[in-house]
Every structure is written in structure tokens, then in C-alpha cells.
Structure 1
């Protein structure tokens, strides 16, 4: 295969990728500007057109959640670790089941624009400190996830043209970041929803076509695919059994459990996912939308598993690791082998579009929290006009985008996956305990909310700082140092119980009158009266 520098795709694929990417960006930017809110109404900017069908809402949820990590990282994980990679993929579907069964409808009934509205309705006398804490957690989560997207764009670029220079790296981050800011600041939720739907349709089509190619190569025999993948994995039957990646000892197994806990629980606390849950007009539409989203995401994960196995079976583990030891290029190498330059270009441009879509949703969620919770309700105490709040939201989107770009260009190295997993851990350890207690525990108080929010955030960050992510391993940020007294790379198995424990402890230590508003809140969480 003819390559450019150390890249993995040929010149034709690179040119076609560029054409497809630019075409999608131009079309979506133009459409997002056309769909941008024409009136100074914060509800339209934050939630968009609330008359969308459940299928379109489900496609938008699918687009909001699935990132380039699913397309590249997850398929690569399956290609290199087999059963363990498939087990990792299953956590995503389980996470959406948790959202559907646990928080979707009560949150929709009590929320308005953000999680802060739900907590404020539950604790009206102490809403200001709670909104501040929640805004801080939201800002940290969205910034980490946003930097992961920008860093992922640079990593993806390196698969095309080899290791980029500092100038090329900077240009890539600036171009991607600027497009994201336009989507979020000008298009608002209508514009972000449009690109999410386009991205979801492209992702479903791209991953399905690739999976069909793979299955057709093996005459639609799953046994043939599995046996060939095991044979070309270099690990034989172990490839189809647990333990290839997460079975190296107790620490490795605990690390996997910690990661799965963060993914399964953290989804319910991701700000851009929560915003999407608040967008449907009725609970019935919400339930159907989440059902569509869960089904579509499950289909993508299933297809990603087939594609990962196909990469091992057709390209081989050795062929993948020679190009990228992490396996992120597995799907691109597979596409080149079975579909040539056209399929490779399709998946490559899709990966870039996926980065843009997820980053736009994150930027909008952060801007909404800063403008509505922090500015509108805390600083202006609910007295800001809609025009003022909308202006702050647009400025906040620019601020978040610029902050993400600056952090992505810092010289210290940290993997996009580590940043994304930390964001999940913080959401699961800080926001989810506060949200679950708010919705379902009558004795929950503002003190408990503050302890769970700040405690979950601080615990998650500190455990990662003193983990192998930062030191003691060749892949660490500081490989020559050793201050990793916490052995796991994901803190969820410790920080999540800490978040719930602090929420309980703060509530039982607080005064009982802080929880007097629960009965009225419970009625609204069940029937949604008075919030719309």
C-alpha cells in the first residue's frame, strides 16, 4: 500500500477524505446557520425544536453519545483483545438501559434546561451554592471530554499523514475547534441537533457497510469469522476467552471493573446527554426516543465488534500493531483491504465528522450551564432577560471552545481515552450521586449535594493524578517519575462509592428542614406538573 509519510492510507483516499469532509462541513455549517434560533428565546437555543419525532430524537442521542473512540478505539480494542474488547463494548448498551430505567423520565419531568434546574426545584432555598458546584463539575467534565475530542483529531490526522509537525497539529486543532464554536455559538441546539443526526446516519451506514463486507467475506458464517480471527490473533483460543487484556492479575481485573462502572453510571451524568433527555416535549416521546437511541447505539456496538474481529481475521494482529500498537487504525486498515480507497475515505471522513459532532454537543452543554445556572440564576438571581442570557451563552460557547483548543495544544502528553474515561468517572462520582439522591431520597439535603458534587470531583481527579496515568509506566505523562500510589488507571471503583457516601453523610448530618420540599418535588417528578 502506498502511504504518505508514516500514514496508513494512500493519496487517493486522502484526497477523497478531504473532499468528503469539507463537503459535510460546508453543508452542515450552512444548514446549522439556517436553523439557528431567529428569536432571542433561550428555550429555542438550549432545547431547539421540541416537536421532533422520536426517531430523529433517537438519532440525535446516538450522535451525541458515540464518539470517534467507538469507531476507532473500540474496534481496535476488539481487534487486539477479542473477548475483552467485546465485553467493553457491552457496557455502552447497559449504560443506556440504566438511563432509560432510572433517570430519564423523572429528570425530564423536573428539569428545564440543565440538571441544576432539577436540583434547584428540590432545594429552592439553597439552589445558588448547588448550582455553582454543579456548574464547576459540568465545566470540568465537558472540558476534559472536549480536549479528548480535539486530541483525537490530531491522533487521527497522524494516521493519514504520519506524525504531524507542531504547526500542522496547531492548525488541525484550530480548524476543528473553530468549526465546533460556530456550530454551538450560532446554531445552538437546532444546529447541533442537525449535525448529530447527519453524523448518526453516516456512522450507522459506514459501520453497517463495513460489517456487511466482513460477513460477506466469510460467507455470513460467524464461526468462520471467529476461528479465522483467533488464528490470526497470535493468541489462538485465548483470543476468544476472557483475560487477554484484563486478566493479567487482580489489579487488571479491578481496573476493568472500575472502567465499566464509570461508563455504565457516568452516562447518566454527562451534561450533553442530559440536555438531550430534556429536549423531547412529552415523556412518551422521551421514552420512545431513548428506546430508539439505545437500539441504534446497540447496533453500532454490535457492528463495531464484527468489524474489530474482521480486522484481526483479514489484516491480522501483526499487520495492525506494526502500524499502530494501540490498534486505533484497525478499521482503516480493514477498509483498505476489503473496500479500497473509497471505503477508507468514507470511514476516515466519518471519524472527523464524529469528532465535530460530539465536540459541538459538549460545547453547547457547557455554555448552557455557565449561562443559565451560573449567570442567569446565581449572578443575576433569575432576573436576567432572555436576550442577556442568550448573549452570555454564545460568549460562553466561544470561551469553552477556546479553552479546549488551548488545553489540547499543551505540550504534555495524555491519551484522549484517559481524558474521556476521567470525564465519565467524574460524572459517575459527582453528578450521578447528587442526581439519584435528589430524585429518589426524601432526606437528601443541600449539604449532601455539595459534598457529593465536590467530593466526587476532587476524589476522581486526585486518584487519577496519583495513578499510572501520570507516572510509573512508559505510557504515563511522566514516565520517569513514580508517585502512583493508586494502582488503577480509572478511579471509578473508589470515587463512585465515595460520592454516594458523602451525599448520604452530608444529608444525615444536616438539618431536617432542608428536605421539607420533597413531597411536592416527588409529585412533579412523577407527573411533570408545573415545569413546562
Structure 2
């Protein structure tokens, strides 16, 4: 956390005007495209006739958060090669989604992941839906808090450490916009802001990256040499191990982080919900290819921005402003284009975290309304009007919960919170997805043990990790009860989630699911109802 303003006030004022203008336009458009009828399919899935490019832009917008624009560039600016490796993991994660779960999930799902599990495990579907709703709520809320905390961290670059009133106002305003987009606009409204945000992100990042390369006559070697010279680490800046090298703990931490990123994406609730939106599997494949290309381009641009920040601003200036490196892209923008470019990128960062927060809120609200209320509480007897009302109310409740938790955790590192959400999703939700789709013997008891056990294991390891205590960057820096040495629990909790799903299935002595149920599920997974 910085202690003084990093950027001048004129940039903040211009940012406010630009952000408010974009929000008013997108909110008006979202309300115009919002569901006009009491049909849950329209609220959950939106316009299913969109082209692959528009679907790909929406997927890209759903995934890329402010942590990519601010945290990733900062990581590259401070750690060089290690930061670039992290960006590579972000791109590879989409390949996991494309090759492993996208089409089987799309063919067997309806509105939520719970519908896929219900088709595969019909006898005990309600208990599994309940467990899944708990996990979705936990992951989505933590990721939502990360976005709202990021809004305070971004404001800090302009005002220094904000007062309690300023923090509350910032989080409340962003959170209110999130509730309006999610609860009133549904999936159509969320799609509008995701597409606009993705287009702006691609243009903004690639334009600024091109400006950096132009400064060095489009010679990447010159950029790398200048970044190494001003990094304070010389040639080591361009070699592996600057941050995640040396001790065994550091190397395991990097492996744990990469596992969480690569596997966690395939289990994030808002990404899974987006996979169900395209009407046909062919459109889904093309959409994912667009998403992979767009995410890869932005990650490449973010790497150039990180190196450019070190080369043009200098690592000493970056660390002196913000030791986490989150200010690096804004300092670079100010160095290149003054207040105007700084305001444009800051507005883009706010729009990015707002769009991701909307997708998370909508996914959590859909799971609570459809899986928990519609299928567990009302046992499938709720009308569409009733379920839609619960979905809108759930969006408001989740938004308010996120605001309150963000005000408590405002000093936490945004990227750390986001990566913990990835680890929780990969530990609890991903094993259930994989076993449901590909293991014939998988049972409801295995699903319950995987969901609750994976979530509990990841949360337990986080509580007793350096994220919470024992270091200056911890939530409670003066306390010391961290016996788990790693920042991210993925390397332990992800295998634990898979093991518990396997163990629960072996221990399930109840009547196995009927073979004809599995055969019907398998046929649908391979062929689909729409192909």
C-alpha cells in the first residue's frame, strides 16, 4: 500500500469524467438489452444467437480482471522473467478449458453446473446442488472482494492512503453499479459491459505496448536491455528465479500459483456460466479460439508494459511508489502520455474490475436462485417468475456482502485474493467437474466429499499461511500462526480435492447410479442435444 499519491490530481479528475461517461452509456445499454420477459433462460444465458467473435469478447471480458492490467504488469516490472512466466500460465489456462471441459459441459448443462451434475447424479442431486452452491458462493464472493479491494488500491495511486469515508464511498459506488448491472441486466446486461470492456482493453493495452516498442524503435532487444539496466538486478532480471527461485519454498510457491491459475480457470463460476451461453458446440469452439487469441494478445501486451515500466520509469521509482508494483502501468502511462493516457488506462482498470465483478455476482446469484432455491428449497416447483425474482434479490444480497467484506479487507493484496479464489475453485469445483464428466463410477458421496473437503482444505491452509499472518504483507502482520509456508495452497489442496472425490466414491456403499442413467449422460456429453 502506498503512503502518498503517485499520480497528479488532474489525472484523477479526468478519470472520473471518463469512467462516469462509460458507465452511464453501458448501464443505459444494459438496461435496454435486459430481459423484458419473466424467462429465466434469458436472464441466465442472454442472447444465444451471438456470433463467435462477440462470445469470445464476452469470455475475454469475463476473465481478465484488474489484476491482469495492474498486478501482472507490476509483477513483470519487478521480477522480469518470473512475471512473464506467470502471464504464460494465464494463456495456457484457456487451453485447458478448450480441450478438457468446454464442449462436454456445454452439451450436458442447462443454466448452471448444478444442472450437469443433476443429469449425472439424479438420485442425490439436491444435496450435491447445495454443496455446489456453497462452493460457488465462497469462490465468487472472494473474487468479488478482490475486485472491490482493487478499486481502493487504484484510488490510492492518486490520493495516497484514503480516509475511511473515501474508502467506503469508492467501494459503495462500484458495488452499487455491480448490483445494477447484475440484478437488472442479467446475462444480456453483463454481456454488454464485458464486450465493451474487452474491446477497450485490447485497444488500450496494445496501443500503449506499441507506444513502448516505438520508443525503442521496435527493437525488443533494446527494450529488454534497458529494462535489465534499470531493474537494479542486471542480467538476473531476464533469468528465471528472481522472485520464485532460491529456496525450495519459493519454487513450490511458483508451482502452486501456476497450478491454481491453469486449473482454476476451468472452475471459476462466471467462466463456467459463460460456456453455456453459445447455442451450439461449433459456436462455442470458435468463441473459445477467439477468447484464447484475445487473452494471449493482452497478456503479451501486459508483458511489454511491465518491461517498459522498468525501462522508462525505473524499478526504484516503482517500488518507492508502491512496493507491490501495481502502480507501474500508471507510472508508465504518465511517463509516455501525461495525464491523458494515465486517465485512460485508469478508467480502463476501473471498468475492468467492474465488469469482472458483474460476472461473478451474476454467476453466484444464478447458482443461489436456480440450484439452491429452485431445486433444493422448492424442489423444482418454483415458477420462472418466482425464480427470476430470487435471482435479482440474490444479486443485490451478494453485492452488499461483497461491499461489506471489501471494507474489512481493503488493505489486502488484490492479486493474492484473486489467486486464492482460483485455488479454491480448482480444489473444490474442478474435481467434481472432471469426475462427473469422465469417471463412470463417480457417486454423490464422492461429489460431496470433494466439494466440501476441497473447499475446507484450501480455506484451512490459507488461514494458516503467510497471507494471514507472520509477514509485513499479511492481513495480520503482528500475529504469527502461519505453519503452512506457501502463499497459495493449490499444490496441496487441489490434489486433496481430487483424492477426496475418489475416496468418497470408494466408500459409498449405497446403491450406485443406474447404468442407463450414465449411458444417457455419456451419449449427451459426446453428441449433445444441439448437434
Out of 159, 170, 175, which is 1:161 matched to? 159
Instruction: Give the one of 207, 224, 241 matched to 1:209.
Output: 207
Given the two structures, how large is their TM-score scaled by the length of structure 2? 0.98
Q: CA deviation at 1:477?
A: 1.7
Partner residue of 1:450 out of 442, 448, 451: 448
1:484-515 deviation per Cα after TM superposition (whole angstroms, max 9, x unaligned): 11111100000010000011111122147423
Structure 2 gaps of 5+ residues are none
Cα distance in 2 for residues equivalent to 1:430 and 1:374: 17
SS class of match (2:512): helix
The question of whether the paired residues in 1 share the 8 Å contact of 2:244 and 2:254 is answered with yes
1:519 matched to 2:519? The reply is yes
Q: Does 1:112 align with 2:96?
A: no
Conserved? CA contact 1:110–1:121, under 8 Å: yes
Instruction: Give the corresponding residue for 1:33.
Output: 31
The secondary structure found in structure 2 opposite 1:469 is coil
The aligned length equals: 528
Change (3 A) 1:430 1:305: same
Give, in whole Å, the separation in 2 of the partners of 1:394 and 1:160. Answer: 35
Q: Are 1:487 and 2:479 counterparts? A: no
Q: For the structure 1 residues 118 and 155, does the alpha-carbon distance in structure 2 shift closer, same or farther, using more than 3 Å as the test?
A: same
Quick check: 1:292 aligned with 2:290?
Answer: yes
Where do residues 139-158 of structure 1 align in structure 2 (5 Å cutoff)? 139-158=137-156
Alignment of 1:9-48 (within 5 A): 9-48=7-46
Q: Unaligned 5+ residue runs, structure 1?
A: none
Q: CA deviation at 1:480?
A: 2.1
Residue of structure 2 equivalent to 1:460:
458
Q: Which residue of the partner structure matches residue 62 of structure 2?
A: 64
Q: Whole-Å Cα distance in 2 between the matches of residues 411 and 326 of structure 1?
A: 16
The residue that corresponds to 1:331 in the other structure is 329
Q: Is the 8 A contact 1:75 1:330 kept in 2?
A: yes
Q: Secondary structure at the match of 1:455?
A: helix
Report how far residue 10 of structure 1 moved.
2.1
Moved over 6 A (4+): none
Partner of 1:180: 178
- 2:438 equivalent to 1:440: yes
Query: For residues 194 and 412 of structure 1, what CA distance do their matches in structure 2 show?
Result: 28
CA RMSD between the two structures = 1.3
| Contact 2:149-2:411 within 8 A present in 1 as well | no
| Superposed displacement of residue 340, structure 1 | 1.6
In 2: Cα distance, 1:480 partner to 1:363 partner: 33
3-state DSSP class of the match of 1:280?
Answer: coil
Contact 2:149/2:409 (CA < 8 Å) preserved in 1? no
Q: TM-score, normalised by structure 1?
A: 0.98
Q: Do the aligned partners of 1:446 and 1:514 also contact (CA within 8 Å) in 2?
A: no
Distance 1:364 1:83, change over 3 A: same
Distance in 1 between residues matched to 2:185 and 2:237, nearest whole Å: 46
Cα distance per residue 1:442-493 (max 9 Å; x no partner): 0100000000000000000000101111111111122222211111110000
State yes or no: 1:528 paired with 2:528.
yes
